[in-house]
Each structure stands twice: as C-alpha cells, then as structure tokens.
C-alpha cells in the first residue's frame, strides 16, 4: 500500500511559505500563475508556488542591484554576524527544515536531518571566512612602484539550485556570495521549493537587509527564468548545479555578457576496489556512497569496479547488505530509502536495469518497480557481470542501481573509469599507499576519496573537471568564486625621506 504521508507537523508553521521572497517581502507572480508541488512518496498535493516569469525575475534582479551598493560597503565582520545568526536560526529550526526536505524530496527523515545540519554548516563556515578576505602585496619590478591586490564582490549573482539537496545547495551558494558582499537572486527548484522558502523566512528573521537575498520559484517557466538571469547585464555571476546539458546552455546564454560562472554538473563516479582493500570497509562505504538518497546525488558511486580476486566475495557481501534495506515513505519508521523524485527518474532506472539484463548482467537483488508503494518507488538493485557496452557504464543513472564491473589491472580500471565525458568524484580502496597515489593521479576527476565514500565537507573544495563543470564550492576557495581581483599600482613611491 502507498505510504500514508500527511503534512509534517512543523513546530513553526510560519516556515511553510507559498510565495516568493523579494525585497524583504512575500509576493506572488505578477500573472497570478502558480504551479503545484506534490509529495513524491504519496503523490498528494503539498501546495502551490508562484510561477515567476522573465518580468518577475527582472524585477528581482533590479531589487538585488539596488541593494548591492550599500551591502558591499558592510564590513566582513558585519556580514559574518548576519550569516552566523542565519546559521543559528537554521540549527534552532533544523527539525522543521528536515521535515520540509522529506516532505517535498522524499528522502528518509534521518537523511533529511543530516542535510539540514550540513546545510547550516555552510553559513557557519562562511561567517568565519567573511572577515578574512585578503589580497596580496607584490614586489614590483619597476623601481618606485608599489603593487598590491584587493578582492571585491563581483556584484549581483544569479543562483540556480537542484532538487536533490533542497537546503544544502542553497546555502553552499548563498553563504559565500553574502560573505563576499554580493547580493543574490536564487531560483529554487520547482520540485522542492519549500525548503528554500523556509530559509528565506529565516534570512528575514536574521536581519539580512532587504534586497540582499531574493528567492524566486518557477516550474514551467524554469528555462525563461534561467534565460533572464543569464541575459541580464546586471547579473555579474551565475552559479548552477544540475545537468551537463543545461549547464552548457546557460554558458552559451551567458556569453554575450561575459559573466563569471561556476558550474557543478553531471557525475557518474567510479568506485574502485582493489584486491588488497579492507573488504568490510569497502562494502560498507560502497553501500553508503551508492545508495545515499536512493542514488540521487551527483557524487554517488555510479560504476563500481572490483578487482577479480575479490569480486565474488564483494558482490555477495554487498548484495546481502542491500537485502536489508526497507523502502517506503520518508517519515515511516525503519525506512532506509525513499522514493525517486518523479516517474521520469523511475523510467530511467528501469531502462538501465533492462539494458544490463539484455546484455548479460545478472540481477542479484531488486530490479523492479514498486507500484504497491507508489509510482516513484524502485527496488534498490545490485547487478553483476557488468560490461562496458551497457548504458550504466557511460550514463549517470541517478537512482538505486549498483552495477559491479570486474577488472584485472590498475591500467585497465583507470581506462574504464576515465572513459566518460564527466569527472566529478572518484573513489578507490586499497591499503597500498603507492598504488593509491598512482591511481588518484591518473583519475580524471575533481575529487578523490581514498578508503572513504564521503567527500562532501564544508571545509573541502567541491567541484569537477571535464563536463562536470568548473569552479569550487565550500572551503577557503569558495568565496573567491564570488569575487573579482583588483590590482593597484602606486607610482613615485621610491623617494627618499623628506629632510634627509
């Protein structure tokens, strides 16, 4: 039977907003149009949100531009206090934020609570980075000249975030932008807008000045809103997390105004287990890395490569763990994995399973839809006998399928791992330090986890290479994505002291 989902019992019901937040006020779309948001677990209506248009978006951009001159002049310490207050409000309301995440995204409540804390961490981190934006003093090659650099906020930023982490993807972009002194227009994902709107309410309570943060929503008009952000000469920076195809489109649209860009795009991460790995650690890590959020993260292990000497043992232990999963509604007791975001995601997962079976793969666990639970549920699946001609070898699944590929040598597995257009994260398991270095240096990814399946950390630079995009989020490098460097040369400075 379908999960009996109901409205989450928010401790603070005023965090549930169905309007956009622009210039410190809650507003509707000028057209009056709205779109529906549904619970992916039950299929029931959650509510509606404004269907913003280009006209609405342009107005939000104007508001952000008007707020920028004053906000850029605030000190780093002032911005730090604002961000820290916003962080504290997120922590104080973390249960409600988690309930909203589960309601609109479907991930189990325990996972949602983890995301709420992780998301808040970006505001804490960048509150600490805000007062520490520093330039350099440079020894000039021209006698009498003095050269130094300063970092300045880039200006109005357009931020476009995905549905798989409704809170964390917002804070990972808004945090460094505000720390740098920028103002923002943040386009919330149409599938999961309510978490971001709750964050907007907390921004209001934190005393973020009017116009500095603006949260807008759209579903049918998503492309129109994205085009408005990229085409506007007022917007000087666009940050996007999502598919490679959309990223390339946004980059083309931004060319006419030569914006500063940072894109975190498709994944398809390789997860490599060598014969000398600690088998128990590798299995446990692969389980967590592959099936987190039902496989709907950009750094999920999408292709699991296991050296032939331990392939059978790994597959048996891995499949046994997956058999213990419980699929259901995110609020249900004991549920480990929730629904996929929509039926299109289910169709893609099913197509990858059927393709693997057709080409000789063997399904050890799962492999079927779960219509009794709802249209968006699919069994966590383990497939052995994977080959490079299968769709899963080259396409990011974004779902709960673990395909196990055998390999013989380091050279062979690195070639297979790199035989994709993207390069976000990669993982390798070995107890041989020299092997670890050889392989990590050969992998074409922006991030590598060695004997760990967890690479996301507010302190670590997150980003990829190749078609996975460019730029880094989080860490001490994150704020520089929202800054421009100004070089200053002062002449006539080599004169002797007066009176000497």
The SS3 call for residue 213 is strand
Q: CB of 50 within 8 A of CB of 217?
A: yes
Nearest to 183 by CA among 211, 159, 146: 211
Pick the catalytic residue from 115, 298, 396, 473: 298
Pick the catalytic residue from 19, 59, 264, 473: 264
Instruction: Give the strand order in the sheet containing 469-470.
Output: 25-27, 20-22, 213-217, 183-188, 156-160, 235-241, 260-264, 469-470
Burial tier of 380 (Cβ tally within 10 Å: 0-12, 13-18, 19+): buried
Could you tell me which residues come within 8 angstroms of residue 245 by beta carbon, excluding any fewer than 6 positions away?
A: none
Question: What residue has token string 């991030």?
Answer: 447
User: How far is the C-alpha of 2 from the C-alpha of 115, rounded, in Å?
Assistant: 25
The yes-or-no answer on residue 264 being catalytic is yes
User: How far is the C-alpha of 401 from the C-alpha of 290, rounded, in Å?
Assistant: 8
- Which H or E run includes 449? strand 447-450
The yes-or-no answer on residue 298 being catalytic is yes
Q: CB of 416 within 8 A of CB of 387?
A: no
User: How far is the C-alpha of 154 from the C-alpha of 223, rounded, in Å?
Assistant: 24
Residues labelled as active-site residues: 264, 298
């Amino acid at each position: 039977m379908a999960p009996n989902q109901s409205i989450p019992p928010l401790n603070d019901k005023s965090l549930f907003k169905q309007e956009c937040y622009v210039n410190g006020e809650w507003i509707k779309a000028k057209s009056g149009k709205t779109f529906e948001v549904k619970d992916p677990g039950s299929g029931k209506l959650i509510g509606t949100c404004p269907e913003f248009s280009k006209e609405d978006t342009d107005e939000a951009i104007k508001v952000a531009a008007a707020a920028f001159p004053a906000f850029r002049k605030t000190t780093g310490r002032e911005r730090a206090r604002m961000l820290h207050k916003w962080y504290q409000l997120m922590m104080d309301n973390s249960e409600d934020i988690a309930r909203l995440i589960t309601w609109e995204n479907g991930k189990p409540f325990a996972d949602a609570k983890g995301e709420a804390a992780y998301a808040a961490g970006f505001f804490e981190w960048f509150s600490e980075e805000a007062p520490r934006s520093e330039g350099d003093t440079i020894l000039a090659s021209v006698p009498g000249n003095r050269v130094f650099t300063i970092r300045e906020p880039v200006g109005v930023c357009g931020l476009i975030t995905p549905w798989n982490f409704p809170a964390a993807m917002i804070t990972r972009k808004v945090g460094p932008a505000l720390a740098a002194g920028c103002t923002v227009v943040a386009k919330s994902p149409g599938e999961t807008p309510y978490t971001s709107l709750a964050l907007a309410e907390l921004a209001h309570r934190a005393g973020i000045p009017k116009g500095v943060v603006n949260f807008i929503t759209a579903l049918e008009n998503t492309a129109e809103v994205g085009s408005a952000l990229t085409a506007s000469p007022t917007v000087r920076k666009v940050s996007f997390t999502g598919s490679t195809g959309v990223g390339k489109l946004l980059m083309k649209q931004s060319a006419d105004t030569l914006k500063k860009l940072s894109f975190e795009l498709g994944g398809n991460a390789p997860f490599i287990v060598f014969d000398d790995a600690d088998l128990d650690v590798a299995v446990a890590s692969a389980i967590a890395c592959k099936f987190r959020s039902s496989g709907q993260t950009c750094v999920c292990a999408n292709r699991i490569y296991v050296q032939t000497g331990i392939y059978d043992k790994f597959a048996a232990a891995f499949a046994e763990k997956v058999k213990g999963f419980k699929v259901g509604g995110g609020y249900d007791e004991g549920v480990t994995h929730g629904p996929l975001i929509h039926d299109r995601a289910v169709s893609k997962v099913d197509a990858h399973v059927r393709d693997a079976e057709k080409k000789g793969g063997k399904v050890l666990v799962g492999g079927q839809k779960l219509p009794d639970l709802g249209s968006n549920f699919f069994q966590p699946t383990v497939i052995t006998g994977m080959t490079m001609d299968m769709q899963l070898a080259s396409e990011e699944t974004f779902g709960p399928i673990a395909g196990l590929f055998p390999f013989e040598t380091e050279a062979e597995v690195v070639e297979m791992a790199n035989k994709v257009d993207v390069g976000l994260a990669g993982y390798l398991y070995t107890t041989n330090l020299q092997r670890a270095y050889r392989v990590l240096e050969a992998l074409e990814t922006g991030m590598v986890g060695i004997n760990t399946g967890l690479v996301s950390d507010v302190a670590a630079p997150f980003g990829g290479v190749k078609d996975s995009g460019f730029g880094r989020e989080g860490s001490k490098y994150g704020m520089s994505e929202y800054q421009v460097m100004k070089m200053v040369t002062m002449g006539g400075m080599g004169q002797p002291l007066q009176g000497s």
